[in-house]
Amino acid sequence: MATDSRLPQFRALSPAQRWDVIAKACQLSDEDRALLTQPGALPSSVADGMIENVIGTFELPLGVAGNFQVNGRDVLVPLAVEEPSIIAAASYMAKLAREDGGFQTSSTQPLMRAQVQIVGIQDPYGVRLALYQARARILELANSRDKVLIGLGGGCKDIEVHVFPDSPRGPMVVMHLIVDVRDAMGANTVNTMAESVSPLVEQITGGSVRLRILSNLADLRLARARVRLTPQTLKTAERSGEEIIEGVLDAYTFAAIDPYRAATHNKGIMNGIDPVIVATGNDWRAVEAGAHAYASRHGRYTSLTTWEKDGTGALVGTIELPMPVGLVGGATKTHPLARLALRIMDVKSAQELGEIAAAVGLAQNLGALRALATEGIQRGHMALHARNIALVAGAVGEEVDQVAKRLAAEHDVRTDRALEVLAELRQR
């Protein structure tokens, strides 16, 4: 598979030429090429089995971020996204990062939570201890529902019991099943287990079970990434690396202390993560929900990343967030392009996929902070957005680049200006 994630002059190539580069790097077939280059990668018959009331399919651009080196391995990262500048920014930050060793990642075990809500009780703390006393029976029953998962080393590993003695609906107890879901996202598995143990829970507690559902705050299933960049790596023709580092630290601190800034800061992180999740057929909404809840875990919404200087003056960035992703089940297995995306990445486990996604989120965050601390976010973004505006104005073929370059040079990326430029080109 891929041995070098560097893609020199990749943007200058045509889509067909880009395909040839990726196909060679990842040893892809002509059938893979057809999936990417011809319409109908997702047949209506398959789509009809995925969701309800299907009337068609909806396409997003699928690009590749280059230059990523994760734990010493080069990775080509497919991203499905509609917004310009995301892939360019992530790729450029990855290019800088690889000069100082790339990204280092780690993750916890793939543990998901299923919640079982118990109401109609008078002694919630007594119920808590009764459930813990019956732990072995509860685990045995939960694990009887999925012998395949048990055979793979997964299964329900433990329980937690949370007490809410004074809710508006009276005393309430919530039991969590802690389930190792291996390479699955795990929603169906944990939901099934929660439902299967509910009669036993009612028998043990004398209460009534209401909700039996997974939690998307997957705080036991974390992915982490770290990057270190020296001032020499970060310097530009206009600014020293030390100046850029100080600007990044000021921008990060703003997000760390102010939830209004943190919301946009974290959205930028998810600009990098979500497209990876979408491209691989995973549930980006679950990842989003878990990430933002995790950002509030200390009672105040704050940054998902940290940025600091080490003893040598280098910039060190880290990210840690829930990453409930899978390689088996759902759209990951049914969508042909999701399967192809996983092959391009050459990932062997759900944990590895989550770690790569975290690294992309960290790279995207660095790109945004660096731009905000220097020339501003709009300069690079609008230059790339100019192609979209040219298309909106009706440009075709070579006209798209000609109009886009003119708009970018003028720093005037507007549809009405694009119409004027296009008219001038055609008059010539």
Give the active site residues.
Answer: 83, 267, 283, 381
Tokens of 73: 């391995």
**Residue whose structure tokens are 């559902």:** 213
Tokens of 32: 């893979």
At 96, phi and psi to the nearest 5?
-65, -45
What does DSSP say about strands 111-119 and 155-167: parallel, antiparallel, or unpaired?
A: unpaired
CA dihedral angle for residue 63, residue 65, residue 71, residue 72, rounded to 10 degrees: 110
Task: Provide DSSP, 77-146.
Answer: EEEE-SSTTHHHHHHHHHHHHHHTT-EEEEE---EEEEEEEEES-S-HHHHHHHHHHTHHHHHHHHHTT-
Length of the chain: 428
CA atoms of 296 and 291, how far apart (whole Å):
9
Q: Which amino acid type is present at position 133?
A: Q
CA dihedral angle for residue 403, residue 407, residue 409, residue 412, rounded to 10 degrees: 170
Q: Residue 39 class from Cβ within 10 Å (0-12 exposed, 13-18 middle, 19+ buried)?
A: exposed
Q: How many CB atoms lie within 10 A of CB 410?
A: 12
Which residues partner with 104 through β-bridges?
Answer: 226
Q: Which residues, other chains included, contact 322 with Cβ-Cβ below 8 Å and sequence gap of 6+? A: 216, 217, 218, 219, 221, 222, 223, 287, 290, 291, 293, 294
**Residue whose structure tokens are 């940025």:** 307
CA atoms of 190 and 179, how far apart (whole Å):
7
DSSP secondary structure letter of residue 304: S
CA atoms of 354 and 105, how far apart (whole Å):
10
